Amino acid sequence: MSITYESNEHASIVSSFGQDFGVGFEKVAKIYSPDADGNCGYRAISMAIYGNQNSWKEVKEQVLKTYQKYKDTLYANRVEDSDIFEKSLSCNLSPCPIQYWFNTTGCPQIAADAFVRSIVVFSKTSFNGKPFKTSNFFAPLASEPTNYPVINILLDHNHFYLIETARTKIGRPVKFPIPVLNPYHKALVKRNSTLCARDYSIYNCNCIY
């Protein structure tokens, strides 16, 4: 088995991820578990971008700048309360209050735009006492994605993990099952045609993921 993890307490996470989302163990190189201080979502992104989890404040700063740049265009009506959302991105507390945690809808999209990297969120939570599993693909809206691999993060019962894909013999990331595209992506591209020159979700799915 090629998956590695930091301690035996994460063994069940490793096993269930493959079962829940149809990803063979051989397709995963590592699963990283950042500190569980309420900033784990931003820490997971930091690990993917900077190679360590400690630059999570920089991640929040870049996400905030990107949100402020596009909040009246790309993100108009996509955030329930703009002031609270901006406050959450300005919060550098550790531990972080629950209302300021990384969410699975707006945050991944804005992070994808901020770092020009597509992001996939695998989510396993509970709804009415039953397991609820989703996987969503967030492609940058206004800029062509870089050739860096897709960032895969897993939310498993209130904690985010970073998933590192295995590589082929020639060094390319192996392919995971293609998740569901962010349901708002097409509408946002159409509504903001001046900013969104192309639909980069098509490019990313075909060429990178």
Quick one: pLDDT at residue 175?
85
∠ CA 164-166-171, nearest 5°, is 115
Residue 121: other Cβ atoms inside 10 A? 26
Domain ranges of the chain: 8-207
- The contacts of residue 134 (CB under 8 Å, 6+ apart) are 104, 121, 122, 123, 180
Q: Where does residue 111 fall: left (phi above 0), alpha (psi -120 to 50 degrees), or beta otherwise? A: alpha
pLDDT tens digits, 52-75 = 999 999 999 999 999 999 999 999
Quick one: pLDDT at residue 202?
81
| Average pLDDT, integer, range 39-48 | 98
Highest mean pLDDT among 2-16, 109-123, 127-141, 173-187: 109-123
Quick one: pLDDT at residue 208?
44
pTM above 0.85, yes or no: yes
| Average pLDDT, integer, range 36-51 | 98
pLDDT tens digits, 91-149 = 999 999 999 999 998 999 999 999 999 999 999 988 888 888 999 999 999 998 888 88
Q: 55-61: long-range contacts (C-beta < 8 A, 24 or more apart)? A: 57/92, 59/111, 60/89, 60/90, 60/91, 60/92, 61/89
Class (C level, CATH) for 8-207: alpha beta
Quick one: pLDDT at residue 127?
81
- Residue 209 binned pLDDT confidence (cut-offs 50, 70, 90): very low
Quick one: pLDDT at residue 64?
98
CA gap 46, 42 in Å, rounded: 6
**3-class DSSP state of 195:** coil
